[in-house]
């Protein structure tokens, strides 16, 4: 992983540098350096065992998954039958391995599961927030204080444009996840700049209003704030707000009312 300026992204000093792995076949242990490679992170067998079985035309991964799932098919499709009754299909067998090493459930059950956050330090939270900021703003700051100093000096228009872009992107994802029928209806007939009767994804509370009121991206793009309407209806909605003295554009008089976003998401 690299920053936008080309510098290599490295874990902070306090992050664990290695991870202990143990081969499920011969019980050999080895250290794996901190890496973003998911295949290496989910290694179940040592190189010696994997090579030996591969030379014999066998797969240790298939053997392992066949023991875990009596319905496992080595040639696919790679299906997980969750305890909730849902069958979820994955693109590769290694995806199934990652599921077994984490929640062992489908995506919906995994997202709704209770998580223990007591071992998460504030230092790690700040690191994750900074990582998100650097991704969104294409920067490479090392501390939150450095980013905040830079952010406060930026023109308000840039902050708003970045915020709006993130809200729009996450709104599409949330609509697809929580209102798949509405998303499909929008996807099949989304506005292409020509037909005013084609559909758009709008927000009950305007994006600029969310920005003004210091709403996070997650709040502004929440599925309860989304509505699918035609471009004609969208324009009429904005026009009525303009006539009522609530211009949806970011006016100069509103810039002073917009506080610094402590929590972007």
pLDDT of residue 79: 87
Give the rounded percent of residues in the chain with a pLDDT score beyond 90. Answer: 15
Compare 76 and 251 and report the one with higher pLDDT. 76
Closest CA to 100 of 112, 115, 90: 90
Task: Kindly give, in sequence order, each residue whose CB lies less than 8 Å from that of residue 174, ignoring residues fewer than 6 positions away.
Answer: 221, 222, 223, 226
Q: What is the pTM of this model?
A: 0.48
Whether 121 shows a pLDDT value over 90: the answer reads no
Which of the four pLDDT bands, split at 50, 70 and 90, describes residue 203? Answer: very high
Q: Is the confidence at residue 37, as pLDDT, over 60?
A: no
Give the Å distances, CA to CA, from 202 to 11, 216, 257: 38, 17, 23
Average pLDDT, the chain: 77
Higher pLDDT, 235 or 14: 235
Indicate whether 8 pLDDT > 80. no
Q: What is the pLDDT of residues 168-192, one digit of tens each?
A: 999 999 999 999 999 999 999 998 8
**Number of Cβ within a 10 Å radius of residue 232:** 14
Q: Model confidence at 167, in pLDDT bands (50, 70, 90)?
A: very high
**What mean pLDDT comes out for the span 138-166?**
86
Average pLDDT over residues 115-126: 80
The dihedral through the CA atoms of 131, 133, 134, 138 has a sign that is positive
Contact 212, 257 (CB under 8 A): yes
Residues with Cβ within 8 Å of 183's Cβ and at least 6 positions away in sequence, in order, are 172, 175, 176
pLDDT at 227: 93
- What confidence score (pLDDT) does residue 187 get? 92
């Amino acid at each position: 992983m690299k920053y936008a300026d080309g510098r290599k992204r490295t874990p902070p000093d306090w992050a664990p540098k290695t991870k202990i792995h143990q081969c499920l076949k011969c019980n050999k242990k080895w250290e794996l350096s901190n890496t973003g490679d998911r295949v290496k992170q989910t290694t179940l067998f040592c190189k010696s065992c994997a090579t030996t079985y591969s030379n014999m035309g066998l797969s240790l991964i298939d053997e392992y998954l066949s023991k875990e799932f009596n319905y496992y098919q080595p040639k696919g499709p790679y299906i997980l039958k969750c305890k909730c009754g849902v069958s979820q299909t994955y693109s590769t067998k290694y995806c199934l391995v990652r599921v077994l090493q984490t929640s062992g459930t489908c995506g919906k059950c995994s997202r709704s599961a209770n998580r223990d956050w007591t071992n998460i330090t504030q230092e790690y939270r700040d690191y994750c927030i900074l990582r998100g900021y650097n991704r969104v703003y294409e920067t490479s700051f090392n501390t939150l204080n450095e980013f905040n100093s830079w952010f406060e000096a930026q023109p308000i228009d840039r902050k708003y444009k970045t915020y709006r872009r993130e809200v729009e992107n996450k709104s599409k994802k949330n609509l697809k996840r929580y209102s798949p029928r509405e998303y499909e209806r929008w996807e099949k007939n989304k506005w292409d700049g020509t037909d005013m009767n084609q559909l758009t994804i709008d927000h009950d509370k305007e994006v600029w209003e969310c920005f003004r009121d210091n709403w996070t991206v997650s709040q502004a793009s929440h599925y309860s704030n989304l509505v699918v309407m035609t471009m004609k209806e969208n324009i009429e909605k904005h026009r009525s707000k303009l006539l009522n003295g609530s211009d949806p554009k970011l006016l100069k008089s509103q810039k002073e009312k917009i506080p610094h976003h402590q929590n972007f998401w």
